[in-house]
Amino acid sequence: MKIGVFDHLQKNDRPELSYQDLYARHLEMVEFLDQAGMDYYFVAEHHFDMGFAECSSPGAWMAAASQRTKRIRLGPLVYVLPLWHPVRVAEEVAMLDNITGGRFECGIGSGIGKYAFGAYNASWDNKNEIMWEAYKIIRGIWANRKFSYEGKFFKVQNAELNIPLVQNPHPPVWMPTRSRESVEAAAAEGISTVQWCPPKMEVVREIFDYFREVYQRVKPNGPPPHVALMREIYVGETDRQAYEESKDHWIHFWHRVGGGRAYGGYGNENLANITREERKKELLNVDLAIGENSFICGSPEKVTAQIKEIARQAGANCFLGEFTFGALEHDKVMKSLRLFADCVMPELRKFEIDALNYPNNGYRVWLKPFG
C-alpha cells in the first residue's frame, strides 16, 4: 500500500503562531516524512482563506520542501487551474520536476472556494470547462517542441518548453473527483483519484467502482493510476489518549471547514442523499466519525485496522493522512507521526489491494442523480 500525507498548512486563526513559525514547522514535518520513508507529500492550494489554509503558491512550497528531502514524492493537490494560465503551469511543473530530481506529482482541479475566483477575476460558472481546456494545453506543451492552441478560453501561440521534463512522458497527474463527469474524464486519462471523508463510504465505493469501470473500458496509455483515500488522523499510545488529545481539534477543524469558506460540496447539491449541512453535523460527532472511520483515531493497532477497513470497503491502494488539523500542537503532531511511522506503516506495507481490478459493488446512491 502506498502511504503519504496531505497538508492544508492550517493556521486556523491562531494569532500566537507566526507565518514564519507555521512554515518552519511544516518543513520540519516534511523532512521527517522523507526520513520515515513515506511515498507522498501533497499540499492544498488555497487563497484568501481567512486564516484556515495558508498555501497560496504550491510551486514555491514544493521547491522549498524539495530542498529538505531526498526520496519522498512531492506535489500540489491541487493546482486550481482556473486561477492559472496553463502555459505558466506547464513551465512551472517542468522546473519543479528538475528541482525535485523527478519526484514531482501534479495534482489538478477546478477549485472549491468561490471567494477566490472573484479576486482573480476568474469564471466560477465555467471552471470545469476551463480546467479541462487548461489541462489539454499543459499536456500539449509537455508533448510538443512548439505548441499552439486556440480554444474557448485560451489562445496559445508557439509555446516552447525550454526546460525538459525529467519524467517521461510527464509527471504523474492526480485529481479529486466530485461528479460523474470528472470521474469519467480522470479514468479515461489515467489520472490518479482521491476521495476525502465528506461522502460516506458507500458513495466513495460507488465512485471508485465507476472509475474502475471507465478505466478498464478505455485502457489509457501510461502507468496505472492510484485510487486513494484521504483522512484526518491522530495516533496515540492508547485509544483513550488519542481520543482525548485530538477530539477538540477534530471538532474545531469541522466547525472551521464546515462553517467557513473552505468547505466544498461533492456532486451538485448534496453528498448523495444527504445535505452538506447534515453531513457536517455527523462529522462533528467525534464518536460517530471514529466509528465510521471518517476520523482515523486511536492506538497504532486501532488505526491500522481502521485504514485497512476503509481500503477494503473502497478498493483503495493508497492512503493519505492529514496529521495537522484544528490547532493541534506541533509536538503532538510529531508524536502522532512517529507512532504512525514506527508501528502503523510497517503493517500497511504488507497490505495490498488490486485497486483497478476490485470487484464492482453495484451503483445505488451516487449515480442516481445523473440518471
Helix, strand and coil content of the chain, in percent to the nearest 5, comes to 45, 15, 40
Q: Is residue 264's pLDDT more than 90? A: no
Residue 121 lies inside a defined structural domain of this protein: no
At 16 the three-state DSSP class reads coil
What pLDDT digit, counting tens, does each position of 296-321 carry? 999 999 999 999 999 999 999 999 99
> What SS3 string covers 91-128?
HHHHHHHHHCCCCECEEEECCCCHHHHHHCCCCCCCHH
The three cell numbers of residue 110 are 477546478
What CATH number is associated with residue 356? Answer: 3.20.20.30
The C-alpha atoms of residue 98 and residue 101 are separated, in whole angstroms, by: 5
Q: Are the CB atoms for 108 and 170 separated by under 8 Å?
A: no
Say what the pTM is.
0.94
Residue 112 lies inside a defined structural domain of this protein: no
Residue 361 lies inside a defined structural domain of this protein: yes
Q: Are the CB atoms for 136 and 153 separated by under 8 Å?
A: no
By residue range, what is the domain housing residue 197? 2-77+177-365
What pLDDT digit, counting tens, does each position of 138-148 carry? 999 999 999 99
Residues 94-109 as b/e (b if ≥16 CB within 10 A, e otherwise) read bbbbebbeebbbbbbb
Sign of CA dihedral 239, 244, 249, 254: positive
What pLDDT digit, counting tens, does each position of 210-253 carry? 999 999 999 999 999 999 999 999 999 999 999 999 999 999 99
Residue 293 lies inside a defined structural domain of this protein: yes
The C-alpha atoms of residue 235 and residue 267 are separated, in whole angstroms, by: 32
Show Cβ contacts of residue 39 under 8 Å, excluding neighbours closer than 6 positions. Answer: 2, 3, 4, 72, 73, 318
Neighbours of 216 (CB within 10 A): 12
Q: Quick one: pLDDT at residue 255? A: 86
Structure-model confidence comparison of residues 179 and 301, the more confident one: 301
Residue 93 lies inside a defined structural domain of this protein: no
Residue 167 lies inside a defined structural domain of this protein: no
Task: Specify which residues 230 forms β-bridges with.
Answer: 320
The strand pair at 295-298 and 227-235 is best described as parallel
Structure-model confidence comparison of residues 351 and 274, the more confident one: 351
Q: Quick one: pLDDT at residue 272? A: 55
Please give the tally of structural domains in the chain: 1
Q: Are the CB atoms for 351 and 319 separated by under 8 Å?
A: no
The three cell numbers of residue 341 are 511511522
Residue 193 lies inside a defined structural domain of this protein: yes
Q: What is the DSSP string of 190-244?
A: T-EEEE-SSS-HHHHHHHHHHHHHHHHHH--SSSPPPEEEEEEEEE-SSHHHHHH
Q: Are the CB atoms for 114 and 76 separated by under 8 Å?
A: no
CA 122 from chain centre, in angstroms, equals 22
Residue 203 lies inside a defined structural domain of this protein: yes
